[in-house]
Amino acid sequence: MSNHYDAIVVGVGGMGSSTAYHLSSRGLDVLGLERYDIPNQMGSSHGVTRIIRRGQYEHPAYVPLVDRSYDLWRDLEERTGRDLLHITGGIDAGPEGGTVFNESRKSCEIHGIDHEVLSGNEVNQRFPGYNLPEDHHAVYQPDSGFLVPEQCIIGYVEAAQANGAEIRAREGVNEFTELSNGSVRVTTEQDTYEADKLVITAGAWTQKFLPDFSATVTPVRQVLAWLQPSEPDQFDASNFPVFIHGTEEDHYYGFPQYDVPGFKFGKFNHFEETVDPDEMAREPRKDDENMLRSYAESYFPKGSGPTMRLSTCMFTNTPDKHFILDRLPDRPNITVGAGFSGHGFKFASAIGEVLADLSIDGQTPHDVDLFSLGRFD
């Protein structure tokens, strides 16, 4: 049929745009299908800035993947001429026995990552926008910073198109069917396509296509705030590192001012509201703002001025908060990237490479055992 491709990618956000590029770079005839705009604010691949850091308190096994991601983001910058990766330094802070500080330091030590250990007071003196408690400690990584997600997606889409890939926005997928010849038929709102390989990078909508994933990928409503600092210079990218901060109860993260007026920050998993992505309340509420403002007033008082912007997105969490990067065990022509649990975007450049490897070869030189579906058996 004329609508036959080597591979179809469903969902062209951070992971899907990278996957389409890496598949097309290997000479495959690729179709990318996105139900919304490219880029859009409906899923998880937006928000102006996204943290990137080498030391990973989540698990040391992530470090080689993020090292590869740094290299691939720089490659994309050279290919497209876009300014995507900004180095600001980064703070992973919390009580001395807490997960963020302790595991970040361990990750840096295991992998030989350049870092300093600072007291809360030392952080506050060096970066006056901060107001960490005296008994908190921090791992400072000079190589941390942020990515510009919308520009990253545009860059990968344009690079994939330059390779000959076809990318279609505002064309939602209704269903897919596996055919007796081993290919997959994908039916959209507009047309029908076939491909030898299917890659699903649909984020919070993964379980809509794969109902068996309903217990392993859970969409959670997330809200970000941008507040105007009283002393803006202290929240400039030259003076304010990105941060992950574990309080006694919760984990927060934040960024210097960039592009949007105000200091940006959020709480991981916000109010822990499990949602249907098609029905989620997308307009921020007053209780969203009040909770975030309370945090800023305690730990970043010079950054807790008037609200400039509030924005919703989604985390898609797995039970162990680790990614899913795997072929379906009973359907090897279908590969899935899902469950990025609020910290996946920094890896998108390398995840696209991994998903292309798995789709084409069934294996990858990257160590992705941590992310296999078999762990849920």
Instruction: State the CATH number of the domain containing residue 311.
Output: 3.30.9.10
Separation CA 155–CA 83 (nearest Å):
10
| Number of residues that make up the chain | 377
CB atoms within 10 A of CB 190: 12
Sign of CA dihedral 112, 118, 120, 123: negative
Per-residue pLDDT at 147: 98
Specify if 179 maps to a domain: yes
Specify if 56 maps to a domain: no
Sign of CA dihedral 158, 35, 333, 353: positive
Specify if 68 maps to a domain: no
Same domain, 202 and 350: yes
Specify if 52 maps to a domain: no
Specify if 78 maps to a domain: no
Same domain, 242 and 134: yes
Separation CA 93–CA 251 (nearest Å):
10
Same domain, 160 and 38: yes
Domain boundary among 298, 317, 336: 317
Q: Which value, in Å, is the radius of gyration of the alpha carbons in the chain?
A: 20
Domain boundary among 317, 341, 368: 317
Instruction: State the CATH number of the domain containing residue 38.
Output: 3.50.50.60
> Minimal CA–CA distance to 156: which of 337, 17, 344, 28?
17
Q: Which residue has the tokens 């990618």?
A: 9
Same domain, 245 and 223: yes
> Minimal CA–CA distance to 157: which of 146, 166, 170?
166
Specify if 79 maps to a domain: no
Same domain, 132 and 256: yes
Separation CA 131–CA 243 (nearest Å):
12
Per-residue pLDDT at 84: 98
Separation CA 338–CA 372 (nearest Å):
11
Asked if residue 39 has a cis previous peptide bond (ω within 30° of 0), the answer is: yes
Same domain, 362 and 330: yes
Range of the domain at 205: 4-46+150-216+321-376
- Mean per-residue pLDDT over the chain, rounded: 97
Are the CB atoms for 263 and 300 separated by under 8 Å?
Answer: yes
How many separate domains does the chain show?
2
Separation CA 139–CA 360 (nearest Å):
39
What are 21's strand-pairing partners? none
Specify if 83 maps to a domain: no
Spans of the chain, pLDDT less than 50: none
Same domain, 206 and 225: no
Same domain, 273 and 228: yes
pLDDT per residue as tens digits for the range 85-142: 999 999 999 999 899 999 999 999 999 999 999 999 999 999 999 999 999 999 999 9
Domain boundary among 285, 317, 349: 317
Which residues are CB-neighbours of 309 under 8 A, at least 6 positions away? 224, 225, 226, 260, 261, 262
Are the CB atoms for 166 and 160 separated by under 8 Å?
Answer: no
pTM: 0.97
Same domain, 345 and 305: no
Per-residue pLDDT at 165: 98
Which residues are CB-neighbours of 78 under 8 A, at least 6 positions away? none
Q: Quick one: how far is CA 256 from the chain centroid?
A: 18
- Output the DSSP codes for 237-274: TTT--EEEEE-SS-EEEEE--BSBSSEEEEETTTT--B
Same domain, 262 and 243: yes
> Minimal CA–CA distance to 87: which of 232, 229, 240?
240
Same domain, 110 and 31: no
Which residues are CB-neighbours of 114 under 8 A, at least 6 positions away? 108, 141, 142, 143
Separation CA 246–CA 356 (nearest Å):
35
Q: Are strands 242-246 and 90-95 parallel, antiparallel or unpaired?
A: parallel
Q: Are strands 331-338 and 192-200 parallel, antiparallel or unpaired?
A: parallel
Specify if 61 maps to a domain: no
Same domain, 32 and 95: no
> Minimal CA–CA distance to 130: which of 95, 90, 87, 101?
90
Per-residue pLDDT at 2: 64
